[in-house]
């Protein structure tokens, strides 16, 4: 396997082998920086949500509700006493805002200025993705200015369209365009219904709204990624971000950090190169708490598929967007992390009306680890997650390999 043949050596000094991290150390570093090696790594309650968000940089928003939505699931994984209203309250308190990172996300308000370049770019572009009618945009802004925050449903469509999901009514398209270009911000939510208000009424007066230079933006991306993961690559830093200028500036920032000794550059088989925080190289192979964590498919720790494959030898792909006949594992699988090993994945569904949590298909992919080592923690994690989803009973439908089904069913029984 690729991870078993992983070789690391300092590019700058190949003969200095004393600080070469082992694979286990690399796994520990990134899991610890992601808040996945200890219980309550960011504290408890609503304050922990803000702390986690400021450390991780963003939390991806997703509308799928097969199980609890991704942004809530990701935070619950790291904050055991997490409540779904915490995020909404932080938005209303103007400590968190919604915008685009590599996808729709919650971001800490302190980082607002770093989304300005994208906002200005969209405002100056004629992108067909946000090709809203200028007159409708003016009407929407004037209405919100005069009457206060509005949801899309508060505007009546003058031109109803039916058909595919992209046939939005004109006012909704105008809202999205105004949001993406920064004239409007999301001031709150009612479920997944967004409430929009003028940016000037949402932004705290203390927030820096000076557009960062291209080099400052690159520095923000580099330091955010290093803080959240411990080590990174150029590909990860620029994930879903285009432009030669950005790559050039990211390289300049990395070179500056190398010269200061803040990071080290190591060569990893299968990677172009990896940059790791120097202070993390001094750590030993600490023992990770051997608890099971059921991760969201949109969890920050697994969002970079190539990275997870290389470091953990776990090839994860969310298959809800794949035609049913081509799915290998299931519609909405949750990766199962045991200590520093991904032992499998489970396709789940919360039947909230019946208060039943179904494990549609549990895939045990690492059979080298005896079930008795991970099963008690897995059962506890599933029960907690079922409760988080408002469910009171469990249903295990299918297990692969099937020989484990009776043993697992017994462990899952209340």
What is the number of domains present in the chain?
1
User: In this structure, is residue 146 part of a structural domain?
Assistant: no
CATH code for the domain in which residue 381 is found: 3.40.630
Residue 80 vs residues 35, 107, 315, 334: alpha-carbon distances, Å: 12, 21, 27, 18
Each residue's pLDDT tens digit, 188-243: 998 788 999 999 999 999 999 999 999 999 999 999 999 999 999 988 998 888 88
How does strand 356-364 pair with strand 399-400? parallel
Q: Where does the pLDDT of residue 286 fall: very low under 50, low under 70, confident under 90, or very high at 90 and above? A: low
Is 323 a domain residue? yes
Degrees, nearest 5: CA angle 360-361-367: 155
Residue 324 predicted with pLDDT over 90? yes
Parent domain of 337:
317-412
**Best CA proximity match to 69, nearest among 196, 237, 189, 238:** 189
pTM for the full model? 0.90
In a domain, 90, yes or no: no
Is 296 a domain residue? no
Is 342 within the bounds of a domain? Answer: yes
Task: Confirm whether 197 is domain-assigned.
Answer: no
Helix (H) or strand (E) holding 108: strand 104-108
Strand (E) or helix (H) holding 71: helix 70-78
Interval 149-156 mean pLDDT: 89
Q: What is the pLDDT of residue 208?
A: 96
């Amino acid at each position: 396997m690729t991870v078993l043949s992983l070789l690391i050596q300092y590019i700058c000094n190949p003969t200095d082998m004393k600080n070469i991290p082992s694979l286990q150390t690399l796994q520990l570093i990134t899991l610890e920086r992601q808040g996945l090696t200890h219980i309550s790594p960011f504290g408890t309650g609503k304050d922990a949500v803000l702390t986690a968000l400021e450390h991780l940089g963003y939390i991806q928003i997703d509308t799928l509700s097969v199980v609890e939505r991704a942004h809530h699931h990701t935070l619950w994984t790291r904050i055991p006493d997490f409540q779904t209203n915490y995020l909404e309250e932080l938005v209303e308190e103007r400590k968190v805002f919604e915008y685009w990172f590599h996808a729709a996300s919650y971001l800490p308000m302190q980082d607002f200025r770093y989304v300005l370049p994208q906002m200005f770019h969209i405002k100056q572009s004629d992108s067909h993705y946000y090709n809203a009618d200028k007159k409708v945009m003016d009407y929407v802004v004037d209405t919100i200015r005069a009457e206060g925050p509005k949801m899309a449903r508060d505007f009546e469509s003058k031109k109803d369209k039916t058909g595919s999901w992209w046939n939005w009514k004109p006012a909704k398209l105008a809202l999205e365009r105004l949001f993406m270009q920064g004239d409007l911000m999301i001031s709150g939510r009612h479920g997944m219904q967004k409430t929009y208000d003028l940016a000037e009424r949402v932004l705290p007066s203390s927030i820096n709204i000076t557009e960062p230079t291209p080099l400052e933006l690159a520095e923000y991306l580099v330091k955010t990624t290093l803080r959240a993961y411990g080590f990174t690559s150029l590909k990860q830093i620029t994930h879903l971000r285009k432009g030669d200028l950005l790559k050039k500036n990211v390289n300049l920032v990395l070179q500056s950090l190398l010269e200061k000794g803040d990071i080290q550059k190591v060569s990893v088989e299968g990677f172009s190169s990896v940059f790791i925080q120097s202070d993390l190289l001094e750590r030993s192979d600490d023992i990770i708490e051997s608890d099971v964590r059921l991760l969201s498919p949109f969890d920050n720790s697994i969002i970079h598929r190539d990275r997870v494959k290389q470091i953990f030898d776990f090839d994860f792909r969310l298959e809800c967007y794949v035609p049913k006949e081509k799915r290998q594992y299931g519609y909405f699988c949750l990766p199962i992390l045991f200590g520093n090993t991904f032992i499998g994945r489970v396709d789940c569904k919360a039947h909230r009306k019946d208060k039943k949590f179904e494990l549609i298909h549990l895939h045990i992919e690492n059979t080298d680890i005896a079930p008795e080592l991970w099963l008690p923690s897995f059962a506890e994690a599933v029960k907690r997650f079922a409760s988080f989803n408002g469910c009171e009973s469990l249903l295990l439908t299918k297990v692969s390999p099937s020989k484990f089904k009776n043993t697992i069913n017994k462990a899952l029984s209340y």
